[in-house]
Amino acid sequence: MLSRLAPRLSAIALGLLCLNAAPLLATAAFATGAPAAEEFGTDWDDPRTADPTVARPATRSCTVEILDTAFADFEWHPGTIAPPADCPGPWSKVVLEMDGQVKGVQFDRLGYLQIGGLTVLSTSTPEPSRDGIGWHVEKDISDYASLLKSPQAVRMYLGNVVNQTYTGVIYVQARVVFYNADRRHPAVDAADQVAPLANEHRDGSDLIGDYTLPANATRWIGEVYATGSGGGCEEFWYFTAPPEANYSCPAQHGPYREVQVLIDGRVAGIAMPYPHIYTGGWSNPFLWYVIPAPRAFNIEPIRYDLSPFIGLVNDGRAHEVRFRVANLPDGASGWTLQPNLQAWTDARRGATGGRLLSYELTPLAAESKYRALPDGRFEVDTRGGHRLRATGYVDTSKGRQYTTVERIVGNTNLHGWGAEENPDGVKGEWNDTQTVARIGRGLPSVSTHSQRFGFDGSLSVVPSGSAQRIVTTMKIVDDADTLQTPGQGQPAIAQSKRNRFEGQAGWNYGVPRPERHATGHSSQRHRSYGTQGCYDHEIAQRNGFIGTDRYRCGKP
């Protein structure tokens, strides 16, 4: 992106450069009723999102502090956790809370918090003002409740360079809040076993390991935190182009990416990766200082229902499980994959047996067409996707249970650029729908989780007096629909999420700080409505200060 401009700058290089971009101009506080600031100054509001906080049950709760540390290196920082005596379980909910503070000059950083060797939070950090910022992240970690029934080691990684230029030490405090179950708030239906892969290692760009499924398993879920990160073209994989395009990020198979899980060499799950944008992304931290892109602070894992395959692997022996990013360029690196496996078991049976009854994986159709347009612009039009459907059964103490899982994934990606890769932009959409049908004793149940996410963004360098100005414009969509029929102890659910981000920011590069004249405005509106309630929250900022913070429903 913009890789042939004079001076030669790629978007990735710009992303590194502009992390140190805060100008030295003072501003007044827009959010407090003063006139809106004309430019970014040395301070701005703390980062926040319009996302809902984790809903908490009205039961007795206990808080366990697990980490209080400062990150100024590339080491894992340790902590511990044990179930509190006053809240020994079972729990109706378990919530992880994390607070951070940083000031000075610093890059955006990626972090991972693990409990018992299992990643329970994948996150990135905001970039600080000179005066300092603080931010808060919380996550429902009830899915990992079985892991928390006994004392566990805690550790967190947040690689951070601190020197005379990058002065920001990142301080983090983390805690876990346990909520007891009662009659009105039943215990969470968490897996009986949650485990990472054993003997985990890399095989090329794949992550591979061993896993022994409990012989009496009745349900099986795979989960992976997957991010194209750490710099390089795969952080911006949707910008890559076939070699014939002569673009600065070539990839012989184009920009289509898919995260797969394979069991003993067979593809057992397919999914679309989320195109995360971190707070230094798209060469413009001024766009993300106060309102980050969706999911930047709480990177959601991809989940696969692997229950149809139980009968192939519940023999008490270790089996190979492989996580793969499909369609990568040969020899590519830059993807972080952090998986775990979750199993529900039948306490009345030593083994459940089972069988895979049917399996269909349609060929992956991924095609990228490069075109040189008559007006001197260039584009790569990418379309890809396919379908996986599997049916299997297990014999439980309550009878035979059949599970059918169907997943349909697809991506359209239009990447266009001008001479010298200026301007440069992508309009991409990813679709991912998983439907799970279970038939057994009692009513059958069907659940569908459909996601549609993507963005329409552009990046350009334009003259600004004697300087050159980087301008980034972005619209982001992050939607989901969940439908679940009542059955087998599950409630009926019909819930829709509509999450929107929109903004633009610009700054002059290659000039002294007071001459960068950075400006930016952005907004986020997060709506959720259905059987689980109504939530509608909108926030907006201009030049670093929140001017709109409005709830239409669901205010905490």
Strand order in the sheet with 319-326: 198-203, 206-211, 319-326, 258-263, 266-271
Q: Is the dihedral of CA 326, 329, 331, 333 positive or negative?
A: negative
Is there a domain that residue 3 lies in? no
Average pLDDT per run of 10 along the chain, which is 556 residues long? 34 35 31 65 96 96 98 97 95 98 94 97 96 97 97 97 96 98 94 97 94 97 90 89 95 95 98 96 95 97 98 97 93 89 96 97 96 96 98 96 97 97 97 96 89 98 93 98 85 95 96 91 98 96 97 93
| CB neighbour list of residue 6: distance below 8 Å, 6 or more residues apart | none
Q: Give pLDDT, residue 36.
A: 67
Q: Give pLDDT, residue 27.
A: 29
| CB neighbour list of residue 231: distance below 8 Å, 6 or more residues apart | 12, 16, 334
Is there a domain that residue 209 lies in? yes
Q: Taking Cα atoms as reference points, which of 194, 227, 210, 181 lies closest to residue 120?
A: 194
Q: Give pLDDT, residue 20.
A: 35
Which residue type, as a one-letter code, is found at position 10? Answer: S
Q: Residues 502, 475: contact at Cβ < 8 Å?
A: yes
Domain count for the chain: 1
Taking the C-alpha atoms of residue 434 and residue 73, their distance in angstroms, rounded to an integer, is: 40
Q: Give pLDDT, residue 442.
A: 73
Q: Give pLDDT, residue 436.
A: 97
The string of pLDDT tens digits covering residues 235-283 is: 999 999 999 999 999 999 999 999 999 999 999 999 999 999 999 999 9
Q: Alpha carbon of 390 to those of 162, 261, 417: distances in Å?
A: 50, 14, 41
Is there a domain that residue 411 lies in? yes
Q: Write out the residue range of the structural domain in which residue 438 sits.
A: 11-553
What are the tokens at 546? 């929140």
What are the tokens at 267? 């593809």
Is there a domain that residue 398 lies in? yes
Is there a domain that residue 2 lies in? no
Taking the C-alpha atoms of residue 333 and residue 430, their distance in angstroms, rounded to an integer, is: 22
Q: Taking Cα atoms as reference points, which of 478, 481, 62, 68 lies closest to residue 276?
A: 478
Is there a domain that residue 5 lies in? no
Supply the pTM of this predicted model: 0.92
The string of pLDDT tens digits covering residues 345-385 is: 999 999 999 999 999 999 999 999 999 999 999 999 999 99
Q: Give pLDDT, residue 35.
A: 54
Is there a domain that residue 422 lies in? yes
Beta-bridge mates of residue 457? 426, 474
3-state secondary structure of 44: coil
Is there a domain that residue 269 lies in? yes
Q: Give pLDDT, residue 13.
A: 35
Taking the C-alpha atoms of residue 5 and residue 467, their distance in angstroms, rounded to an integer, is: 13
Q: How many CB atoms are located within 10 Å of the residue 118 CB?
A: 18
